[in-house]
Amino acid sequence: MALQLMTEKWPGEVAVVTIGATKEEKGTRSHTLKLGGEKSLPCLFREGALPHKTGIAFEIWDTAPLDWPDELTRGYKDVLSDPVRWAEKCVKDYKAQSLCLRLQGAHQDYGNKSPEEEAQLVKKLLKSVGVPLVILGCGDDAKDNLVLPACSEAAKGERCLIGPAAQDNYKTIVASVLADGHNIIAESPIDLNIAKQLNVLISDMGLALERIIMDPTIGALGYGLEYAYSIMERARLAALSGDKTLACPFICFVGQEAWRAKEAKAGTTEQGIIWEALTATALIQAGADLLVMRHPKAIEKVNKYIDNLYGR
Amino acid sequence: MFIIGELINGMYANIGKALKERDKAEIQKCALRQIESGADALDINCGPASKQPLVDMPWLVEVVQEVTDKPLCLDSSRPQVIEAGLKAAKNKTVINSVTADSEKLDIIIPLAKQYSAQLIGITISKKGIPQNRDQRLELAATIVSACVDKEFPVEDLYLDPIVLPVNVAQAQLKDILESIREFKIISEPSPKTTLGLSNVSQGTSARGLINRTFLTMAIAYGLDSAILDPTDKELMEALITAELVLNKNIYCGSYLEAYRKK
C-alpha cells in the first residue's frame, strides 16, 4: 500500500504583496517581485500552495558604511561611496533581482543628508537600475518622517517597499505610502501582539493589509534566531487559521544581523558568508518571504538553496 | 465561533410584518445589520404566525441571498418547509433542525446529504426534553449514529443540547454545559456543538447579562457555534474576549477590532 501523507487543510492564506511596477502598470521596473501567498507552513510543498519563492534584496547604502568588515566590503570595494554604481554592480555583476537602499546617510551621525538629496538619489537609482526597490530610513524617527515622504514621492508609482513604520511612528509614513502607491514595512520588536496591533492601526488608516510586509525583527544564528523563528511560526499559524491581520509576508534583515555577530566578523575566511547564509536558510524555514542580505557570495549560496528547494 | 444571527424570525414584530407585506427592504436591512455585526450565517424562520410557510420560507431565502452569500440556516420543525428553503437556496445551508426521533432522522439526513447542507441535531425526542446529562447524551448519540449509518459527515453535524431558561430549569444549566463537552467525545471526528442562546434568559429581568455570562461559560466548555443576536454589542465583545482567553486568537491592543477584520 502506498504511503499516505497526513496533510493539514488551512482556511486562511498569506496575502500576496507585489513590489515594483512595470511599464504596463505605469512604473518603470523591468520586473516585479511577488511575495507571500502561502497556503501552508513553510516548505510543506505537498500540503498547500507556496506560490512565490523567497526573494532576496541586496542591501546598499547611500553612504559608505564605516563598520562593515573587510570580508564584506571586498566585493564592493570600488563602489561603496557611490550608491548608483553600487546598485549597478549588484544588478550587473551579481544579478540582483531587487535592491534595498538604506538611507543611513540621512542620520545626523552619518552625514545628515537632506530629504531633497535622498529624494534625488532615489530618482537617480530608479533611472539607473530596473529592479524593484526597497527604501529604508536611517532609524531616527524624526528624520525618517522627513526623508521617507520625500523619497516616497520621488518614487511615486514605482510600487516600492518603504519603511520602517513602527507602533510609535507610523502615521507619516503610512500617509505617504498610501498617497504614492507603495507598500509598507511594519516593524515590531520580536512581539507578535505589537505586530498585530500595528497592522490593525495601519489598515485603519486605509492602507490595505495586502500592502503590508511585516518585519518581525530577527536575531542572527546564535543571537536569538529561535525567538524570531517561534514568533514567525505563531504568526503564520494564525494567518493560516484565518487571521487576516497577521497574514502579511515577512521581511527579514539577515545581513544586518548576521554581520553583527562576532563569529561573522572575527572568524576565518568565509565564516561571515556562512553565518549570513545559514541565518538566511533558517529563516526561510521559519517562513521568510523577503531576505535583505549583504554578501554577494552568501546571496549566491542562498539563491541556490531556494532554487533547489522550490525546484523539487 | 460560528455565529448564526437569529433576528430573521417571523416571531419578531418587524419581520412578521415585513413577511406579511412582502417588504424585501426590511428583511434585507436586518440581514445586513447582522452580518456587519459579525454573523457568519443567518437563521431564517417564518415564525409561528406564518399561514403559508411553504411559500414564505423560499421567499425569505431568495430575499436574503439577494444581499449576501453567507450560509443560511433554515429553521423549521417541518421537513417540507426546510426542503422548500433548500430548493430555493443558492447559498450554503444549515438545516435547523432535526430531533432524535428516527422518523425525523430518516427524512432530514437524506435531505441534508442531497443538498450538501450542514445539520443541527437537537437533543429532544417525542418523549420530550431530557431531564439529565445521561438522557441528553443518549439522544445525542442516537443522532450521531444515524448520521454515521447514513454516511452523513459527522463534522457537518452540530448538536444542540437545548438550553432551558434559567428561571424554569436552573438546576439543569450546569448539566447542559457539561453536555457540550461530552458531545465532543461521542465520535471521532467529533460532532460540532451549537445552542440557541437567547432561551437561557427567557422571561428574566437581566437578559443581556445572563446571555453573555452563559455564552462565555459555554465557550469555555468547547462550544463551536451559537444562534444569537449579533447586534448585541456587549454579547459579541464577551464572545470575542472569551475566545481570546482560550488562545483562539492572538492578543493585540485592538483585539475587538482585529476580530472584526478577520
Q: Grid coordinates standing for A138?
A: 536611517
By residue count, chain A amounts to 312
What is the full DSSP assignment across A104-125? GGGSGGGT---HHHHHHHHHHH
Q: Quick check: A267 pLDDT over 80? A: no
Reported as a single tens digit per residue, the pLDDT across B19-34 is 999 999 999 999 999 9
Q: How many CB atoms lie within 10 A of CB A32?
A: 17
φ/ψ (deg, to 5) at B93? -130, 155
Reported as a single tens digit per residue, the pLDDT across A164-199 is 999 999 999 999 999 999 999 999 999 999 999 999
Reported as a single tens digit per residue, the pLDDT across A121-135 is 999 999 999 999 999
- Confidence class of residue A53 from pLDDT cuts 50, 70 and 90? very high
Euclidean distance between CA atoms B96 and A71, whole angstroms? 70
What is the full DSSP assignment across B103-124? HHHHHHHHHHHHTT-EEEEES-
Of A200, A235, A242, the CB nearest to B257: A200
Task: Tell me which chain B residues have a C-beta less than 8 angstroms from the C-beta of A238.
Answer: 249-250
Residues A8, A13, A16, A17, CA torsion sign: negative
Instruction: Tell me the CATH number at B143.
Output: 3.20.20.20
Euclidean distance between CA atoms B13 and B56, whole angstroms? 16
Contact A200 B261 (CB under 8 A): yes
Interface probe for B, chosen from A200, A205, A246, A248 (most Cβ of B below 10 Å), is A200
Task: Tell me which chain B residues have a C-beta less than 8 angstroms from the C-beta of A203.
Answer: 261
Euclidean distance between CA atoms B84 and B54, whole angstroms? 6
- Confidence class of residue A6 from pLDDT cuts 50, 70 and 90? confident
pLDDT, mean over chain A: 96
In a domain, B240, yes or no: no
Q: Using CA coordinates, name the residue in chain A closest to B259.
A: A243
Range of the domain at B51: 2-232
By residue count, chain B amounts to 262
**How many Å lie between the alpha carbon of B40 and the closest alpha carbon of chain A?**
14
Q: How many CB atoms lie within 10 A of CB A86?
A: 22
Of B249, B254, B257, the CB nearest to A243: B249
- Confidence class of residue B260 from pLDDT cuts 50, 70 and 90? confident
Interface probe for B, chosen from A243, A244, A248 (most Cβ of B below 10 Å), is A243
* Cβ atoms A276, A23 nearer than 8 A: no
Q: Using CA coordinates, name the residue in chain A closest to B247.
A: A238
Q: Using CA coordinates, name the residue in chain B closest to A12.
A: B262
Contact A200 B262 (CB under 8 A): no
Q: How many CB pairs under 8 A join A and B?
A: 39
Contact A203 B261 (CB under 8 A): yes
The type of residue at A117 is E
What is the full DSSP assignment across A21-64? --GGGTS--SS-EEEE--SSSTT-TTTS---SPPEEEEEEESS-
What integer pLDDT is reported at residue A4 of this predicted model?
Answer: 84
- Confidence class of residue A266 from pLDDT cuts 50, 70 and 90? confident
* Cβ atoms B240, B255 nearer than 8 A: yes
Q: A169: which strand partners? A: A166
In a domain, B262, yes or no: no
Residues B223, B224, B228, B229, CA torsion sign: positive
Euclidean distance between CA atoms B93 and B86, whole angstroms? 7
What integer pLDDT is reported at residue A134 of this predicted model?
Answer: 98
Contact B250 A192 (CB under 8 A): yes
**How many Å lie between the alpha carbon of B205 and the closest alpha carbon of chain A?**
37
Of A200, A204, A242, the CB nearest to B252: A200
Which one-letter DSSP state was computed for residue A15?
P
Contact B252 A245 (CB under 8 A): yes
In a domain, B71, yes or no: yes
pLDDT, mean over chain B: 96
Say yes or no: ipTM exceeds 0.95: no
Of B249, B253, B262, the CB nearest to A197: B253
Euclidean distance between CA atoms A287 and A14, whole angstroms? 11
Q: Quick check: A312 pLDDT over 90? A: no
Q: Which of A131, A31, A32 is nearest to A88 (CA)?
A: A131
The type of residue at B85 is G
Percent of chain A exceeding pLDDT 70 equals 99
What integer pLDDT is reported at residue A269 of this predicted model?
Answer: 77
Instruction: Report how many domains make up chain B.
Output: 1
CATH topology of domain A53-311: TIM Barrel (3.20.20)
Contact A192 B257 (CB under 8 A): no
Q: How many CB atoms lie within 10 A of CB A127?
A: 10
**Strand bridging mode A251-253 / A212-215:** unpaired
H or E element that contains A180: helix A171-180
Reported as a single tens digit per residue, the pLDDT across B40-95 is 999 999 999 899 999 999 999 999 999 999 999 999 999 999 999 999 999 999 99
Q: Grid coordinates standing for A151?
A: 523619497
Q: What is the pTM of this model?
A: 0.89
What integer pLDDT is reported at residue A200 of this predicted model?
Answer: 97
Residue B121, exposed/middle/buried by CB under 10 A (0-12, 13-18, 19+)? buried
What integer pLDDT is reported at residue A34 of this predicted model?
Answer: 98
Task: Tell me which chain B residues have a C-beta less than 8 angstroms from the C-beta of A245.
Answer: 252, 258, 261-262
- Confidence class of residue B214 from pLDDT cuts 50, 70 and 90? very high
Q: Grid coordinates standing for B44?
A: 431564517
Task: Tell me which chain A residues have a C-beta less than 8 angstroms from the C-beta of B258.
Answer: 196-197, 200, 243, 245
| Crossing angle of helices B173-184 and B133-149, rounded to 10° | 30
Euclidean distance between CA atoms B88 and A23, whole angstroms? 48
Q: Quick check: A248 pLDDT over 90? A: yes
* Cβ atoms A64, A96 nearer than 8 A: no
Q: If you average pLDDT over residues A94-102, what whole number do you get?
A: 98
SS3 A79: coil
Q: Which of A174, A129, A171, A180 is nearest to A151 (CA)?
A: A180
Q: A250: which strand partners? A: A214
Q: Using CA coordinates, name the residue in chain B closest to A244.
A: B262
Euclidean distance between CA atoms A281 and B219, whole angstroms? 41
Number of alpha carbons in the 13 Å side-chain half-sphere of residue B133: 12
In a domain, B46, yes or no: yes
| Residue A198: C-alpha distances to residues A12, A160, A193, A307, B257 (Å) | 20, 20, 9, 33, 12
What integer pLDDT is reported at residue A91 of this predicted model?
Answer: 98
Contact B250 A209 (CB under 8 A): no
Contact B258 A201 (CB under 8 A): no
Q: Quick check: A28 pLDDT over 90? A: yes
The type of residue at B125 is S
No. of helices (H) and no. of strands (E), chain B = 10, 8
Contact A196 B251 (CB under 8 A): yes
In a domain, B257, yes or no: no
Q: Which of A12, A21, A124, A77 is nearest to A296 (CA)?
A: A77
